[in-house]
Amino acid sequence: GKQGRFRQNLLGKRVDYSGRSVIVVGPELRMHQCGVPSKMALELFKPFLMKKLVQSGLASNVKKAKTLVEQETSDVWSVLDEVVKEHPVMLNRAPTLHRLGIQAFEPVLVDGKALKLHPLVCHAFNADFDGDQMAIHVPLTQAAQLECWTLMLSTTNLLDPANGKPIVYPSQDMVLGINYLTRAKKDDKGDGHYYDNLDEIHMAIEAGSLSYNAKIGYTLPNGHRYTYPKDPEDYTTAGRLIFFEALPEVQGITFEDCNKLFGDKQLKQLISRALKTDKNSVVVKLCDAIKDVGFKYATIFGATIGLSDMIVPESKAELVKAANEKQSEVLDQYHHGQITQEERYNRLIDIWSQTNEQLADELMAKLKESQNGFNPLFLMADSGARGSKTQIRQLGGMRGLMSKPNGDIIEFPIKSNFKEGLSIIEFFISTNGARKGLSDTALKTAEAGYLTRRLVDISQDVVINMEDCGTINGIVRSAIKDGDDIIQSLSERITGHYTLENVINPNTGEVIVPIDHEITDDEAKAIEDAGVEEVLVRTVLTCEAKHGVCKKCYGRNLATNKPVSVGEAVGIIAAQSIGQPGTQLTMRTFHVGGTASTSAEENKVTFKHPVYITKISGGTVVRAEDNATLFTRKGYVYYRPALDEFKLVDGTALAKGIADGQKVTGNTVVCTKGDEKLTCSVKGGTVRVFGDTVVVLGVEERMDAKTGSILHVSAEQFVPTGEAVVTFDPFSEPIISEFDGMARYADLTLGTTLIKEVNEETGTVGYRVTDHALDNVEPRIEILDADGNLLASYLLPGSSYLQIQDGEMVTTGQVVARLLMASVKTKDITGGLPRVGELFEARKPRNVAILAQASGIVSYGKIEKGKRVINITDEFGKVYKHSVLLGKHILVREGDHVEASERLCDGNIDPHDILNIMGENALQQFLLNEVQEVYRLQGVDINDKHLGIVVRQMLRKVEILKAGNTRFILGQKVDKYRFHEENARVIAEGGQPAIARPCLLGITNASLSIDSFISAASFQETTKVLTNAAIAGSKDELRGLKENVIIGHLIPAGTGMKCYRDVKLKDEDALALSDKVESVMSERAQEDIEEIANMSTEDEIIGEADELDGSDDFTGDEE
């Protein structure tokens, strides 16, 4: 385990020349500096100090120097300053979750016993000053110092390797100070004054005739004029001018970019922009300037929070009253037996979530108005300095719903807030959530740490080890959408990748990016603006490098924003980028104080832009009671989004040559208004005219409609923005009769397949179908016509509630039974981390869904051994047989058309099924999307290439199906490259190659089945791994990083790569220095030999040897 030989001694050692101490903030430091206590420096730099003392003649020998240092004489301190100057030190804060947990700084000697840390690097270390400790290390050799300066200095680590965004940015006080400085206030002191230069402004502020926040007119040095108060929108403020004055000159950033209100997001954007347009050194100065201004004005502003700043909206009482009425309505329905226990629970939670959200919105609006927009509470949350809407909601709105320790939400909310004070019972309910938060933190940290460890183990040997693998395969990238919202744009997904084909502008036909070229930020934007939907790029998933990955498939190194260099340990970076947020997120649960974080459920589908409905497919019926159209089974609504909309009013007319139904390319003139030309967007589309509205329609898309949804539109109809297309009940799924007739129970007998549920609170009776399946019994409801012929039969899944009696007459569209959705659980990464673990371990999930093995038409077969057989006939007439457990909710009906890998019954998808049905690419996409989904819910941004590396390692092996003439055996799992090599060898000899199929290994299994037994042994199951290796006579090639660390070699990554080890330095005459040294040494040796040969007696030789021995030119440190 952790205390064993491998992890305690071989992979982790104690280090000399190190120390640890508490950290305090050092706002006066520059970004590359850290404060080191003089006492500590004295000990850390002792050998260097002693050498310097001897050199400068303050001490005659080493022993004397040592005494001087121990006495701490005044000479020692002055020499120490020189020694420490430009000798970098490394600071590390545990836990080191990613590579930014260790950075190098130039030490500055300080008094006291605490290390001083620059406030802007805290984010990378995840450090705060509530008693955190940090360790300090001194690099000794010249090479180590050089690497510290060039690679590890804090000023070279401005970007987060996980996503390429700045990780050095101001927070808290600094943000608050700048937000206060750049905020404008109506009718403040000096409002409407006009100034010509900054000196006037400084004088006016000193004299007290102008405030920082007043709106003023001003003329910039470049001649641009702000004409306030003539144009009320064209103003600036003294604060913004002072802010801009404090910043260094940065290419591409002008005063116009800074004439706005700055919060944390805007500051981050400013830094990102500077990083793109100017060099690192300038950005570092910019960050330091922002820090200084922020602290200065936060001090001047002196923000404090008082009780009076927390406002309770007057409308609170009404909102709570309305919610209480809705609540009693739901409880009435429940007592009368119209809804079940679970529906009641879900509806109550929905009512209170909505009320809470409304109240929070009103509260924020009220705070924004109060104190002219300078309410400190609002300022802090609005600027992103501290606190959030959820926290303010608890102070002035209502505390809201709390969750129980098991994650369920308590349905009765806390209606008080902290200002009004909680009642005793409310206080007690609150303790649940708070306690859950704390226990979560403790348990989940370990869980996340273990996940990181497994990830590092699987991906540690992935290093960039060649320029170009020459593959022709890639992956098609397109924007990720959730219905209408774009979650991740196309430009974000392709930036920094190499193209595999020319990217062509669909409107003009010109090449935007040529083949085999890295897509820059600007090019990615251009591709998106041109209306390109998808791009084929090279990715790590399709790289054909034998070990590791090649430069072009990896693309850009996110930590530097330059192409990755050979030798970069991308596997470790990937593992850290995935593991680090996992640990962060689990620590973050308790900050909300355990209030339940579900959002109100949606019950309708609307679009954010007008749409044209093209067709509706799936079973729909018209409900008899109110003529509404219902989907009785899963349906699809096909639509085309309107990209542009023009109104034919006030002289607007169709342009010449444009007619209804015509296709147009991007930026075509569609309408004219007098001389004005109105063009469509870059994507182009089809022009349609509806009355006085002209729209340009995009490509057809489809939307899924749930069973039981009510359809509000018809085919070939134009639907304006925000109008509901379908509405549905989010909490239950109905089973609906498609005919008029008499209902008859079949295989529904009380006690076996049917349970009578009497609710003790309400006395109502409900009937529920049991969960356990019996052979040859299928609970169903049959609909018969007047002559007793069977019209339809509806299978009832387990746990469905009957809504009609046996023998009752039903009408079309009537609900015969209802299936309840699982209760709403708190959305927290607590649910998310195990999910990520489950995906990476490639475990078979519980309650697996059966997937369609091919696309085709569904037909039901017989029941065999408690399983229902579902057959799918594809277009060539081949029948695929699927067995589904009885009692499971089947999602398809007889005659439905399904796509391959679509779910046939409810349940979770098993990744192995996707691999078998859809192949490797589909599985890679599935795993990427599922993992990203978990992180996205938490607002964490991880680049796909990091996940890609891990997924690639999970798919490294293939399973042999036919051995042919190869050395493999049936069912053996071998590495892909070994498989291809062996096949190539056999084919060259004219033999029969092996046939294999890809197999998916979980990260633990993949780590243990790795080629290197040393690495596998240091991970888990040491004895087993070593005995197996001994029996098999394994040989370790020492390719990965771990094996080399254990044995004590340089690691084969970075400057330790083979290609960098044999670097030769040459002088002006192009002679390699190493050769030169060798020749000099051999000449000297030759001279010595000759000298000895010339000596006459033995005594002389002995005397000479003594002399040589006594010469002590070479002290140990210098080497």
Highest mean pLDDT among 309-323, 619-633, 681-695: 309-323
Q: At what angle do helices 376-383 and 341-369 cross, to 10 degrees?
A: 110
**Residue 649, Cα to own-chain centre: how many angstroms?**
47
Those residues with Cβ within 8 angstroms of residue 364's Cβ, 6 or more apart along the chain or in another chain: 378, 381, 389, 392
Query: In which band, very low, low, confident or very high, does the pLDDT at 827 lie, cut at 50, 70 and 90?
Result: very low
Is the distance from CB of 616 to CB of 635 less than 8 angstroms? yes
Query: In which band, very low, low, confident or very high, does the pLDDT at 1119 lie, cut at 50, 70 and 90?
Result: very low
Between the alpha carbon of residue 724 and those of residues 450, 604, 611, 713, the distances in Å are 46, 6, 11, 8
**What pLDDT does 45 receive?**
92
**What pLDDT does 205 receive?**
92
Q: How far apart are CA 596 and CA 399, in angstroms?
A: 10
DSSP 527: H
DSSP 486: E
Q: How far apart are CA 949 and CA 971, in angstroms?
A: 26
Residue with tokens 């050692």: 13
Is 32's pLDDT higher than 90?
yes
Is 79's pLDDT higher than 70?
yes
Those residues with Cβ within 8 angstroms of residue 87's Cβ, 6 or more apart along the chain or in another chain: 45, 48, 106, 107, 138, 145
Give the chain's mean pLDDT: 84
**What pLDDT does 40 receive?**
93
* Cis peptide upstream of residue 229 (ω within 30 degrees of 0): yes
Is the distance from CB of 152 to CB of 90 less than 8 angstroms? yes
**What pLDDT does 829 receive?**
38
Q: How far apart are CA 353 and CA 346, in angstroms?
A: 11
Is the distance from CB of 243 to CB of 291 less than 8 angstroms? no
- Side-chain-side CA neighbours of 511 within 13 Å: the count stands at 9
Query: In which band, very low, low, confident or very high, does the pLDDT at 677 lie, cut at 50, 70 and 90?
Result: confident
The predicted-structure confidence for 737-766, as pLDDT tens digits, reads as follows 888 899 988 888 888 888 888 877 777 778
Q: Do 173-301 and 829-933 have matching folds?
A: no
Is the distance from CB of 71 to CB of 51 less than 8 angstroms? no
Please name the amino acid found at residue 467: E
B/e letters for 351-381, b = 16+ CB within 10 Å, e = fewer, are: bbbbbbbbbbebbbebbeeebebebbbbbbb
Q: How far apart are CA 12 and CA 27, in angstroms?
A: 34
Domain 173-301: CATH superfamily is RNA polymerase Rpb1, domain 3 (1.10.274.100)
How far is it between the farthest Cα atoms of the chain?
135
The predicted-structure confidence for 986-1002, as pLDDT tens digits, reads as follows 999 999 999 999 999 99
> Would you tell me how many other CB atoms lie within 10 Å of the CB of residue 1083?
10
Is 1117's pLDDT higher than 50?
no
Rg over alpha carbons for the chain, rounded to the nearest Å, is: 36
The predicted-structure confidence for 438-467, as pLDDT tens digits, reads as follows 777 777 788 888 888 899 989 888 999 899
Please name the amino acid found at residue 207: A
Q: How far apart are CA 268 and CA 262, in angstroms?
A: 10
Question: Could you tell me which of 538, 535, 552 has the C-alpha nearest to residue 476?
Answer: 535
Q: Which of 93-102, 178-187, 686-695, 1060-1069 comes out lowest in average pLDDT?
A: 1060-1069
Is the distance from CB of 53 to CB of 79 less than 8 angstroms? yes
Token reading at 438: 């704390």
Mean pLDDT of 942-962: 92
The predicted-structure confidence for 1076-1114, as pLDDT tens digits, reads as follows 778 888 888 888 888 777 765 455 444 444 444 443 433
Q: Which secondary-structure segment (H or E) carries 449?
A: helix 424-459
The predicted-structure confidence for 562-590, as pLDDT tens digits, reads as follows 899 998 999 999 999 998 888 665 544 33
**What pLDDT does 1093 receive?**
77
Coil, helix or strand at residue 729: coil
Is 538's pLDDT higher than 50?
yes
**What pLDDT does 1101 receive?**
45
The predicted-structure confidence for 295-326, as pLDDT tens digits, reads as follows 999 999 888 988 888 889 999 999 999 999 99
Residue 418 exposed, middle or buried by CB count within 10 Å (0-12, 13-18, 19+): middle
Q: Which of 9-13, 215-219, 613-617 comes out lowest in average pLDDT?
A: 9-13
**What pLDDT does 1095 receive?**
65
Residue with tokens 């990744």: 911
Please name the amino acid found at residue 970: L
The predicted-structure confidence for 127-185, as pLDDT tens digits, reads as follows 989 999 999 999 999 889 999 999 999 999 999 999 888 999 998 899 999 999 999 98
Highest mean pLDDT among 24-33, 611-620, 687-696, 1008-1017: 24-33
Q: Which secondary-structure segment (H or E) carries 975?
A: strand 973-975
**Residue 247, Cα to own-chain centre: how many angstroms?**
32
Token reading at 529: 């603006």
Coil, helix or strand at residue 750: strand
Q: How far apart are CA 254 and CA 248, in angstroms?
A: 11
Backbone φ and ψ for 829, nearest 5 degrees, come out as -65, -15
Q: Which CATH architecture has domain 951-1060?
A: Orthogonal Bundle (1.10)
DSSP 130: T
Class for the domain spanning 732-820: mainly beta
Token reading at 606: 């609307």
Token reading at 927: 């795993």
**What pLDDT does 687 receive?**
83
Highest mean pLDDT among 114-123, 657-666, 706-715, 1017-1026: 114-123
> Would you tell me how many other CB atoms lie within 10 Å of the CB of residue 706?
16
Token reading at 271: 């830094």
Residues in the chain: 1119
Query: Residue ranges of the domains in the chain?
Result: 173-301, 307-422, 459-591, 604-727, 732-820, 829-933, 951-1060, 1073-1118
Backbone φ and ψ for 744, nearest 5 degrees, come out as -135, 135
Is the distance from CB of 685 to CB of 697 less than 8 angstroms? yes
- Of residues 130 and 703, more confidently modeled: 130
Q: How far apart are CA 773 and CA 779, in angstroms?
A: 9
The predicted-structure confidence for 475-508, as pLDDT tens digits, reads as follows 998 888 776 678 888 888 899 999 999 998 887 8
Q: Taking phi first (over 0 means left), then psi (-120 to 50 degrees means alpha), and beta for anything else, what does residue 904 get? A: alpha
Residue with tokens 């927009």: 373
Q: How far apart are CA 1088 and CA 1069, in angstroms?
A: 28
- Of residues 9 and 77, more confidently modeled: 77
The CATH number given to 829-933 is 2.40.50.100
The CATH number given to 307-422 is 1.10.132.30
Is 877's pLDDT higher than 70?
yes
The predicted-structure confidence for 828-845, as pLDDT tens digits, reads as follows 334 577 888 888 998 888
Question: Could you tell me which of 325, 371, 365, 327 has the C-alpha nearest to residue 346?
Answer: 327
Residue with tokens 């040095």: 221
Query: In which band, very low, low, confident or very high, does the pLDDT at 407 lie, cut at 50, 70 and 90?
Result: low
**What pLDDT does 1070 receive?**
66
Q: How far apart are CA 579 and CA 509, in angstroms?
A: 43
